[in-house]
Structure 1
């Protein structure tokens, strides 16, 4: 079933929420391997136990990656997304830890039709929240999205 929304379908203030995903030891290890970031706060329990958090923390950049993946699982931009244009004002509000369950809250801030007959720009707020509904990461991302009138031109 295609749940894709196009430029003309979106409304300012419209909100979407993903299902949850629990962060695992494997997630953190794989991200360390992929990124090459083996900072002791991520991979050394003895070191991390002496920090103010008392445990290892998952990479902040992992949160951004999870948020973009969760955005895909919403399905609302499945066939209409053209390109993510930016991530801005990203804030790391709380640390991510192993065992935390995260969800994405996405809301439409505004949009701009522009001059293209094929695509428009949509500005979105992305909030990664934990199992207590506390914001963990928060930022703005705009993207190019297909217009219904431009689908045949793709």
Structure 2
């Protein structure tokens, strides 16, 4: 796959830089679709009556839905199109607050490492990912490590 117009190679990332994504509002339809796709029909997510008497007083989004949406938000920056080879790992995943229906989430990515890999044509980029809602509450954090293409020689 050819690199996209705005794509970056591993050498283009600077340690310490922060990349912000566009916001995304999570709605009930997103939760229903994710429940169907994943098979996770936990009443906390799909049953309003049960969820109302639960810990959060209402239905909330799946944590893994939030994680998946952040991946999409990062992809939509176009910085990885055609240059990201794969995710090497997701570490320190923490769901610190629920995402409620109607919440708008914002994802920021801080580059913590950008280095050559054992293959000269590739590199590794590590990032700290933080997801907040419109109330400035952190809802999710994790570390992501990507295998990236290097600049063509």
Q: TM-score, normalization: structure 2?
A: 0.93
1:37 & 1:7 partners in 2: Cα distance? 36
Question: For 1:128, which of 128, 131, 149 is the aligned residue?
Answer: 131
RMSD: 1.2
Structure 2 unaligned blocks of 5 or more: none
Contact kept, 8 Å, 2:10 with 2:115, in 1: the verdict is no
User: Among residues 72, 84, 88, which one is paired with 1:85 in the alignment?
Assistant: 88
Q: Could you list the runs of 4 or more consecutive aligned residues of structure 1 that deviate by over 4 angstroms after TM superposition?
A: none
Write the deviation string for residues 15-58 of structure 1: whole angstroms up to 9, x where unpaired: 11111111111100000000111111111111111123110011
Tell me the distance in 2 between the aligned counterparts of 1:87 and 1:42. Answer: 24
> Is 2:147 the counterpart of 1:113?
no
Higher normalized helix content (fraction of residues): 1
Q: Who is 1:141 aligned against?
A: 144
Please, what TM-score do these two structures have when normalized by structure 1? 0.93
Could you tell me which of 3, 7, 16 is aligned with 1:4?
A: 7
Aligned twin of 1:30 = 33
Unaligned segments of structure 1, at least 5 residues: none
Deviation at 1:141, TM superposition (A): 0.6
Greater Cα offset, 94-103 or 45-54: 45-54
From 56, 62, 66, the counterpart of 2:65: 62
> Contact between 2:52 and 2:59, CA under 8 Å: does it hold in 1?
yes
Count of residues in correspondence between the two structures: 150
